Structure 1
Amino acid sequence: MSDVGSVHEHSPRPPAVHRAHVVLDLGTSRTRSLSLDGFAIADRPSAVVVPSPESAAGMPVRPIRRGMVVDPGACLRLVHLVLQDAWLSGGRPLEHVMAGVPRAATGSDRQAVRTAVAEAAGCEVTLVEAPLAAAAGAGVDIAGPGPYLVLDVGAGIVEAVVVSGGFVTDAAALQLSATTSAGLLPDALEGVVEMTAGLLRRQPAHLRPAARANGLTVTGGGALQTRLLDRLHTVLRTQVTATPEPQHATIRGLLRLCLRPAAPVIAL
């Protein structure tokens, strides 16, 4: 498997800045990166080739599984590659990297990401909960009073969150064993719908009407699955909206948060 990624046009171009900052979305299937003065999202498979006694060409390894780091050494190599994608000019040393991590990630999972990124970048690293970044990238007013329901459907993990005042106030997660090119398998799809409905049901009674009125925003590659959106609408009885280019919502949100360092969002 090649380490060569693809590049997607990113519009609109962010304001020119004079700081070497990069944002990074490490996913189970795909990894995206973008520098603050860049114009395109670098997008590559979350896989690297490592030396192997069984193969002279090496073996492909996926260091991220179900949203968590499972191979720290391979994760370090992956981060090296995606930082090169994002910072092609190489004219200045990096000052800061902001990376998204699942809300469900443990302390050790988060430390593994922080260690790999810090070693590869040699600079300050800020971690932000990926569903919160995805909400920002989808245009949700995450600093507003909310509550806002957001469902981030990734290839390895699906997270439903409630956002209010710059915080994730409640969350649920479902780790996936498999997805297909068509999206979630039927059992997983129903599990995601029930998880999201359960999150809404357990909100305080006085907040549920506002949450329903604000609707559900769906991000991540799985947001392209029409059957999922239809089931969510039927079960939750609220408006369900898939954000445009949902697979890029997290990286867009990280960019916005990095451009607004005073935003009331808690970094990890």
Structure 2
Amino acid sequence: MSPVRRLVALDLGTARTRSLSGHAIADRPSAIMRRASGVADVVRPIRHGMVADPRACVRLVRLVLQDTRLYDGRPPARVLAGVPIAASPGDRRAVHAAVSEIAGCEVTLVEEPLAAAVGVGLDVLDPQPCLVLDVGAGIVEAAVIGAGAAVDAASLQLGATTAEGLPPYALESVVEMTAGLLRRLPAASRSRGLVVTGGGAHQELLLSRLRTALRLRISVAPQPQHATIRGLMRLCLQPALAEGLGLRAR
């Protein structure tokens, strides 16, 4: 009898890549070492949340899936991998190809703000929309989630972040982007407030500027850097919810 196969969630980020199989989250830098002409160089396969170097991304995925085998050595049955809402069809194909090559199993792509909303326990099937701001190292996305989909969204690609979080120019742009999205949301739909996720969610200056500009209830997700990966695993474990969101393997 063949062993029962396992489920894997994968969040390929610009700065950090996180994976989850079972109960343990593995977290590593989104970087690999490449040697050319005897010289070792650090390569970062992901930029702005998108695959910038497909072959290096395959190597990164191999390392990440090896991390998950430390906790569970069974072969994967299915991988749910996050992608930005702003990812083009080509960007999505690059992620799917890299993960499929190494995992050798069914791969489903999920837009990251939607996965983050699931990860913090929001009812994403509710027709009453919720607003999520996902603050990553290379891309920030604000999304209106309602009736199982991102019905409106805006994205900002970042050149770099600092140890303190978003640099001043990006901070103001994120606030303006989120305010613009909020203005397109019916007033009656703002009661659920804004949930901030991602590794940059704890930046106090960002939260203060959002509260001042939006005049909206702002909450930070518990362990916001893990919201996306936890949402991906929840979708792995709850097929009915995934089906309600229209998620199918590609």
TM-score (norm: length of structure 2): 0.94
CA offset at residue 208 of structure 1? Answer: 2.4
Residue type at the aligned position of 2:207: L
Alignment of 1:94-109 (within 5 A): 94-109=76-91
Alignment of 1:67-146 (within 5 A): 67-88=49-70, 91-146=73-128
**Distance in 2 separating the partners of 1:94 and 1:178:** 34
Match of 2:238 in 1: 260
Helix, strand or coil: the match of 1:234?
A: helix
Identity of aligned residues (%): 62
CA offset at residue 178 of structure 1? Answer: 1.2
1:31-58 CA distance string (max 9 Å, x none): 00011xx221000000011121151xx2
Partners of 1:161 and 1:172 within 8 A in 2: yes
1:62-104 CA distance string (max 9 Å, x none): 0000111000000000000101111225643211111000000
**Distance in 1 separating the partners of 2:106 and 2:35:** 30
Please identify runs of 4+ aligned residues in structure 1 that moved more than 4 A: none
Helix, strand or coil: the match of 1:96?
A: strand
**Distance in 2 separating the partners of 1:87 and 1:256:** 19
Equivalences, count: 243
Partners of 2:79 and 2:108 within 8 A in 1: yes
CA offset at residue 232 of structure 1? Answer: 0.7
Partners of 1:22 and 1:87 within 8 A in 2: no
CA offset at residue 267 of structure 1? Answer: 2.6
Q: 1:233 aligns with which of 203, 211, 214?
A: 211
Residue type at the aligned position of 1:43: D
Q: 1:48 aligns with which of 32, 45, 52?
A: 32
Partners of 2:5 and 2:75 within 8 A in 1: no
**Distance in 2 separating the partners of 1:209 and 1:19:** 45
Q: 1:202 aligns with which of 180, 184, 189?
A: 184
Unaligned stretches of 5+ in structure 2?
Answer: none
Partners of 1:151 and 1:159 within 8 A in 2: yes
Moved more, 106-115 or 143-152: 143-152
**Distance in 2 separating the partners of 1:90 and 1:39:** 10
Report 1 or 2 for greater relative contact order, CA contacts < 8 Å, sequence distance ≥ 6. 2
